[in-house]
């Protein structure tokens, strides 16, 4: 079945440490890829997206993601997390380039002091 | 810019009643709006896509007579949960896009059906 997988349900990281969130997809062609962040009481905010071109994508808030076709992955990274990065992170795929998104189950990030 | 609001932010209703949720794009005209449902600790599931002035397109397994969607203007879409039951309790999220650009998400509406 076609799907978006985020293997890590919950990650705890120390403030200032690096963060990597994994995302894998299982679609035949390369879809459009997105990372969103959801904070309590707020709507999902787009961190970054990949359509084509350079496989290393820079986003907002110091996040970046790398598309690896051979691994069908689009992992999100941040070199040094801040306490405000504690949130739920969702990887999403537009598999048909029709703007309909399929989301992964999400990864909850907790930041400890 | 690109703000999407939802009203109400939460609602509690009795089983059998209908509930309407509004989704508004505040500072842009949205040609397409999407409705999602999110269960606790789970992903967002696309329910339907609506374009202004036309019937909504529902995803497989979503009952169109249960979840009525109206996209009457370029800034407003409504989702009505008809004859709500406890299993309809969920977090409903809308998003709006302009001519295929990225989707901008509302803050969500928590529905609890008693």
Q: Which residues of A touch B105 (CB under 8 A)?
A: 36, 43-45
> Who among B41, B43, B49 is closest to A100 (CB)?
B49
Q: Can you read off the two tokens belonging to residue A100?
A: 């309909």
> Who among B46, B102, B108 is closest to A43 (CB)?
B108
pLDDT of residue A46: 93
% of chain B residues with pLDDT over 70? 96
**Are the C-beta atoms of B4 and B24 separated by less than 8 Å?**
yes
> Who among B32, B49, B107 is closest to A42 (CB)?
B107
What is the C-alpha to C-alpha distance for residues A102 and B44, in angstroms, rounded to an integer? Answer: 8
DSSP string, B101-114: ---EE---EEEEE-
Report residue B31's pLDDT band, with 50, 70 and 90 as the boundaries.
Answer: confident
- Look over chain A and give the mean of its residue pLDDT values, rounded to a whole number: 91
DSSP string, B52-103: TTSPPEEPTT--TTTEEEEEEETTEEEEEE-S--GGG-EEEEEEEESTT---
CB pairs under 8 A between A and B: 46
Chain B contact probe: residue of A99, A104, A105, A108 with most B CBs at under 10 A: A99
A1 versus A41: the higher-pLDDT residue is A41
pLDDT of residue A98: 74
Report residue A2's pLDDT band, with 50, 70 and 90 as the boundaries.
Answer: low
What is the C-alpha to C-alpha distance for residues B15 and A112, in angstroms, rounded to an integer? Answer: 42
% of chain A residues with pLDDT over 70? 97
- pLDDT at A79 exceeding the cut of 70: yes
- 8-state DSSP, A53: S
- pLDDT at A1 exceeding the cut of 60: no
Q: What is the pLDDT of residues B83-96, one digit of tens each?
A: 999 999 999 999 99
pLDDT of residue B100: 63
Report residue A94's pLDDT band, with 50, 70 and 90 as the boundaries.
Answer: confident
Q: What is the mean pLDDT of residues B38-45?
A: 85
Chain A contact probe: residue of B35, B36, B103, B106 with most A CBs at under 10 A: B103
Asked whether the beta carbons of residue B43 and residue A104 sit closer than 8 angstroms, the reply is yes
């Amino acid at each position: 079945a076609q799907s978006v997988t985020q293997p890590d349900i919950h990650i705890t990281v120390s403030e200032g440490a690096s963060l990597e969130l994994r995302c894998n997809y299982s679609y035949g062609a390369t879809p459009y890829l997105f990372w969103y962040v959801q904070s309590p009481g707020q709507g999902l905010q787009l961190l970054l997206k990949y359509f084509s071109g350079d496989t290393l994508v820079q986003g907002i808030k110091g996040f970046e993601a790398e598309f690896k076709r051979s691994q069908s992955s689009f992992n999100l990274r941040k070199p040094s997390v801040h306490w405000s990065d504690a949130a739920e992170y969702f990887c999403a795929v537009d598999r048909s380039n029709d703007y309909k998104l399929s989301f992964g189950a999400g990864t909850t990030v907790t930041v400890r002091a | 810019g690109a703000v999407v609001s939802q009203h109400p932010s939460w609602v509690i209703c009795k089983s059998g009643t209908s509930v309407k949720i509004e989704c508004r794009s505040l500072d842009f005209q949205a040609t397409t709006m999407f409705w999602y449902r999110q269960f606790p600790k789970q992903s967002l599931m696309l329910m339907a896509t609506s374009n202004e002035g036309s019937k909504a397109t529902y995803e497989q397994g979503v009952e169109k007579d249960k979840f009525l969607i109206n996209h009457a203007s370029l800034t407003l879409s409504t989702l009505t949960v008809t004859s709500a039951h406890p299993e309809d309790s969920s977090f409903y999220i809308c998003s709006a896009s302009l001519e295929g650009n990225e989707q901008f998400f509302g803050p969500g509406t928590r529905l609890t059906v008693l």
